[in-house]
Structure 1
């Protein structure tokens, strides 16, 4: 007999939806969807769903009995020290909780490299202190082309252009400004945070994380399931 699914964790991003089944506390059958959220929800039927979304959810989704949607109003195992909690992305909340779950009793910095780049700090006492939102890698490349007349868009070919920090062609310079700019930006933010926190545990996640983790001036932990771990912790906390 198949084991019963405890809950389905649904992470709605800007470009795709990721689902993960939880069976006996284990994360299994992670799947990436391109379909609409409605079709995904209908696919799972009446199984309990825990949803984190960077997009606003329809009222009928939030109102379904088997769906728990994450927001700043949710009962959370951390405190949000944030001036506008209603604008705080559910993915950032989930990642913050996931960091505390993975590395308790530490000051955690979560670097998420996706469509946008976010860098968030969660103190070891369980307080989310805020962070940074900046353009992601491809967004930077697209923006430079979009807002100028002559610069090309290298967002679909940048891996063939990769160069050192000083580009020798316009495309290499665009790569350098985008890729190495992110590295220097992250290192600068970490340096600033270390002025107030002598010990920082750094976690990197997101679709572009693997391009950057070896380039940063910090000991980095990979956090590929950090949002899922946070979602599951919050779901358990609310039961």
Structure 2
């Protein structure tokens, strides 16, 4: 029977998990932050994973790790003394988000020896570039869709906070559609522009789109890009594979 592994991603908005049997992703989970111990207990009891890796960009209660460690070999991802499948040459590894580590690990596994860029669209938009020599030195971070919409309301007196849902057109015909156009089209144009700039400096690159808002933007891009909503989990598993 193939070994079972559990990969956990605690993000700013969602707490998620994926179950791997061997190297195949078999199940995905969305957890309630208010009932996280109950949710995790149910998952580890039913599936009995041998190894668990946790990547978190938020503060979480210590009892979560204590629970997981009772059921399996637990690895809590960090950016400074963890075995990684690539060279981490980031200038401030202690501040590097664990989600970005996982995304770069996936690039290393699926595009070895090639210049590659993974773009994750969520609370923020992150750009993470892995050079063909398997070295990661960084990328860029910019505001995500909800952050852009909220900031335009928070930092002005008269602009309203609008929903992301609704008509999106290049030419906004009122304040609501103008705000939505600026936020949505702004991110799409930014992504296209960043890919163009990377290719201008490095030549042809692999570009991967992921993140919770990845599907929302996939059809809005002009660039040729590979979309994979499970890329982070695949990267977590790639990291878990090489731990001892």
Aligned alpha-carbon RMSD (Å): 2.0
Q: Is the 8 A contact 2:32 2:39 kept in 1?
A: no
Map residues 36-185 of structure 1 onto 2, 5 A cutoff: 36=34, 37-43=36-42, 44=44, 47=49, 48-59=51-62, 61=64, 64=69, 66-72=73-79, 73-155=81-163, 158-163=164-169, 165-185=170-190
State the aligned residue count. Answer: 234
Task: Work out whether residues 85 and 108 of structure 2, in 8 Å CA contact, stay in contact via their aligned partners in 1.
Answer: no
Q: Is the 8 A contact 1:61 1:67 kept in 2?
A: no
SS in 2 for 1:7: strand
Whether 1:233 and 2:244 are equivalent positions in the alignment is no
Question: Unmatched 5+ residue regions in structure 2?
Answer: none
Per-residue CA deviation, residues 15-59 of structure 1 (Å, 9 max, x unaligned), is 221111111321111111123443444332573211111113455
Q: TM-score, normalised on structure 1?
A: 0.90
Match of 1:15 in 2: 13
Gaps of 5+ in 1: none
- Partners of 1:26 and 1:83 in 2: how far apart? 33
Q: What secondary structure sits across from 1:159 in the alignment?
A: coil
The CA distance in 1 between the partners of 2:137 and 2:223, in whole Å, is 20
User: Where do 1:204-219 residues align within 5 Å?
Assistant: 204-219=209-224
Counterpart in 1 of 2:28? Answer: 30
**Contact in 2 for aligned 1:112/1:204 (Cα 8 Å):** yes
Aligned equivalents of 1:80, 1:4: Cα separation in 2: 31
CA-to-partner distance for each residue in 1:147-166, whole Å, 9 max, x for gaps?
212111113xx332322x22
1:215 to partner: Cα distance: 2.6
Residues 216-225 or 63-72, more deviating: 63-72
Q: TM-score, normalized by length of structure 2?
A: 0.88
